[in-house]
Chains A and B, each alone.
Chain A
């Protein structure tokens, strides 16, 4: 169960590369067959200065976290059987490019509880992750809301 005093908790940091192979895998997973999503020559031919990265590209940080996408939930001691991902939000402050090395740093910014519809207290946790590139420029700010539903009564 998530600690009600988690606000401010440091959820750690991870450094990860924006690499061509992972961009190709993401493009295939998203049913994007065009080579411009990973091939610099194809991007140039399409009139683009850079390979475009998907808006959700920062998800690649999960590969470098011990528990992958569940890292934050585990750090928060959330009950994984009652955990939902409610919302995710990205703010784009500077371009992310193929070849960049990003550092993600996460912490808990807010926590609220309320009565769930099916009884038991529901906990909503807000997590902010900042992504800085190899020149220490803040490029993306991401917010996530995790929901731990109430225990069935």
Chain B
């Protein structure tokens, strides 16, 4: 979303109110859900981080098929640091995320020789190699069955109160905090000079180069930062479900991330979030309750095709249309919805 002309305080105020309402809803949310839905809420929050970090990479114009494996690197890394070295979980999560970033940095050397479709397939191949290494080597990766009994997040004692993070509601709040901080960092990054350069690298890479932008470095930076947060989401997942295995990070999962990003749209930071939230609710709540378990991939396929045909700019374009109809560059907040 480009910064509007005469927005000023009114715009910022609207954002704060809007975010406040959303967060109030998110805090109340787990208390109105069933147990299995609470678990889904945890996964949803983790997936939001995954798909938003994926979007950062797409800002530079590259679509990777290795992002879920990078998430797995974070999960495997964090799990191994706690299991083998005995590092406390919160620190190992950050170490796992850093491992993902380092792996991405190493991969950037071969991968960024390629562009477009070649990068897509190259990233897929690199990811598959990592995944097959997990599968091949029982030590330390556990082979096809993966790692089990990963220590969960330790209990926290605040005063006389013990917070048990094995409980989905508490873990949900923990993830919500971690993901919110991460999203804020990603949001600030995009609004900074660096973020603007990402856009330049995407749309005008030769022009950007001619004015002295090292496009390779910015592509790599986007890849490494995106991978750090993907790794963090993997670590959050690993210490919640207590097990990671190669199949959890296969290309099918990657297709889902791609679907979320495409259906939501990648022009804004809320696009992919809309995509993952709407599709998860549709998938887990609506379709599951209708009892179409076997047919769910079919619906996903139909949704994907319809959205790329009729909503090529994603769900976010609907939101933007509503906003535009709301008229006035400044202030016309409340009547935005009523007119649409």
A-B complex is real: no
Residues of A whose CB lies within 8 Å of any CB of B are none
Residues of B whose CB lies within 8 Å of any CB of A are none
